[in-house]
Each structure stands twice: as structure tokens, then as C-alpha cells.
Amino acid sequence: MVNMDENSCINLANVSIGYRGTPILEGINFSINRGDAIVLFGQNGSGKTTLFKTILRIIPPLHGNIIYQNNTPQRFGYVPQSQSLDEIYPFTALDIVLMGTFGQIKPFSFTPAKSRILAKQCLMDVGMLESKRKLFSELSGGQKQRVLIARALATNPNILLLDEPVAGIDVDAVKMIMELITMLHEKHHLTVMMITHESFSIPAWVNKKIHIKNNAAVVENAK
Ligand SMILES: Nc1ncnc2c1ncn2[C@@H]1O[C@H](COP(=O)(O)OP(=O)(O)OP(=O)(O)O)[C@@H](O)[C@H]1O
């Protein structure tokens, strides 16, 4: 049974996840509470992204319940793995961040000026405003991550899910991205859940660690 206190946002109770009826992880039980900072560990292919997609309601759970508390409606910001973005299209950094505003625009309508203002504000928040006209494909790994974080911020989230935000980038860029996530968690009060393989870069403010092994998710309270 999961703990459902007044700070709970999302509760997973005996959840199985996977594709086309075949489970990848089973018996998942944990809560995401308001203000949590959660890190998710696990080997390649163990099901971390699948768990994110299930929490984001992109795919349904195969079994069990995910309860989304209504007291604070969840607005998700999702930062996918940067290589998951197709780079054959000539999108600029600003174009990418504007995608984050599309949920607030009616289909087939022009991008309103306020969306452009919001997108530029989000680029400024991540220190990338000066690069707004640069092609996404020509940015460094760390810059791409910052643009993808800006896109997630443009959805006005209260929960940020980041899929390997520091994978494949140099040490200085890792430090910068972690400082940015720290700022979003501590100053902007975003609940944060992130996947990482880099245990050395885990910030001190993380309060929950979830280890995925042997087709199960084991929760460790870090504080
Ligand atoms: N759309 C899909 N349909 C069927 N199987 C999938 C699909 N997406 C992923 N899988 C499979 O589900 C398993 C878990 O994949 P997932 O991407 O969740 O792992 P991961 O832990 O995030 O891996 P990585 O660390 O490499 O990103 C893998 O065996 C993968 O091949």
C-alpha cells in the first residue's frame, strides 16, 4: 500500500508497465510528493523511460493504478533524451521552445505573440536567449539540453521529468545543467524526477532514489 499524505501528487499502487501486454516492470509502488527530488537509476533497457511514459500517460499501465491527486493538478514538463529529437528538420532553438507552448494554442492557428514572449523568457531562464536563432542540430550537447529544458518550462509545469539530462556532455556542462535543475527545484519549487547514470553528479537535495533491477523498482529514501 502506498502512502497517500496531503503532499502526494501521484501514487503508483502495484503497477505493471510494458508494451502490448508484455510487462517490463511489475509491482511498482511509490509516491511522488510535492517538492520531491527523485533520481531513477537502472541499466540500459531496464524500463526507466517506459516508467516516465506511463507516468506521463503516453502509454497506459498494464496492471494496477496510478492515482493523480486532484488537489494540485499536475502539469508535466518532459525533457526527453536529446538524441530522441530528429535533427533533419532545420529547427532553431526558439522553434524547439515554441513547441512547448503549442498546448496553449488552438489547432491550426498562428503562434500568438505571447507564446513567442514566453518562449524567449524560457530561453533566458536557461541562459540560451542569445542562441535563439541557432539551429538546434548545431548546438553542443549541453546547449541542446538547456533548450529542451526551456521547452519543458514553456508548458508551465509543476513537475519536471528529465530523461538523462547530463548524458554525453562534458564535466563543465554537467555542472551547469545540474545547477539549472537545482535552481528550478529550489527557487521555482518544481517537483523533479530525473533519470541518470552519472551517480557522481547527483545533487545533495535529492530525497528519493529509485533503483530499477530485476524487473522491479526499489525505493530508497535518501534523506
Ligand atoms: N515502443 C516500444 N515498443 C515495444 N518495446 C519497447 C518500446 N520502447 C521500448 N521498448 C523496450 O522496452 C524495454 C525498456 O526500454 P526503456 O526505453 O524504457 O529502457 P531504459 O531503461 O529507459 O533504457 P536506456 O537507459 O537505454 O534509455 C527495452 O527492452 C526496449 O527495447
Question: Residue 125: in which H helix or E strand, if any?
Answer: helix 113-125
Partner residues linked to 8 by β-bridges: 33
Structural domains of the chain ordered from first start: 35-54+73-209+217-221 (3.40.50.300)
How high is the pLDDT of residue 73?
A: 79
Average pLDDT (199-207) is: 81
223: pLDDT strictly greater than 70: no
Q: How far apart are CA 33 and CA 38, in angstroms?
A: 10
pLDDT for 71-103, tens place per residue? 777 899 999 988 777 777 889 999 999 999 887
- Whole-number Å distance, alpha carbon 48 to ligand 1 midpoint, is 8
| pLDDT recorded at residue 163 | 96
State the first-to-last Cα distance of the chain, in angstroms, to the nearest integer: 21
Q: Is the CB of 196 under 6 A from ligand 1?
A: no
Cα torsion 83, 84, 90, 96 to 10°: value is -110
Question: What is each CA distance from 1 to 62, 130, 188, 204, in whole angstroms?
Answer: 18, 49, 31, 28
Task: Tell me if 42 CB under 6 Å of ligand 1.
Answer: yes
- Residue 2 Cα to ligand 1 midpoint, Å, equals 26
| pTM of the complete model | 0.91
Expressed in angstroms and rounded, the spacing between residue 18 Cα and the centre of ligand 1 is 9
Q: Which atom of ligand 1 is nearest to the CA of 50?
A: 18
Q: How far is the CA of 199 from the centre of ligand 1 (A)?
A: 21
Task: Establish whether this prediction's ipTM goes over 0.90.
Answer: yes
Residues 6+ positions from 19 with CB-CB distance below 8 Å: 50, 59
Biggest alpha carbon distance in the chain? 50
Please write the tens of the pLDDT for every residue from 2-57.
445 667 889 999 999 999 999 999 999 999 999 999 999 999 999 999 999 999 99
Q: Which of 20, 22, 48 to mutate to test the pocket of ligand 1 (most atoms within 8 A of CB)?
A: 48
For 137-188, how does the pLDDT look when each residue is reduced to its tens digit (9 = 90+)? 999 999 999 999 999 999 999 999 999 999 888 889 999 999 999 999 998 8
What does DSSP assign to residue 62? Answer: S
Task: Compute, in angstroms, the gap from residue 127 CA to the centroid of ligand 1.
Answer: 32
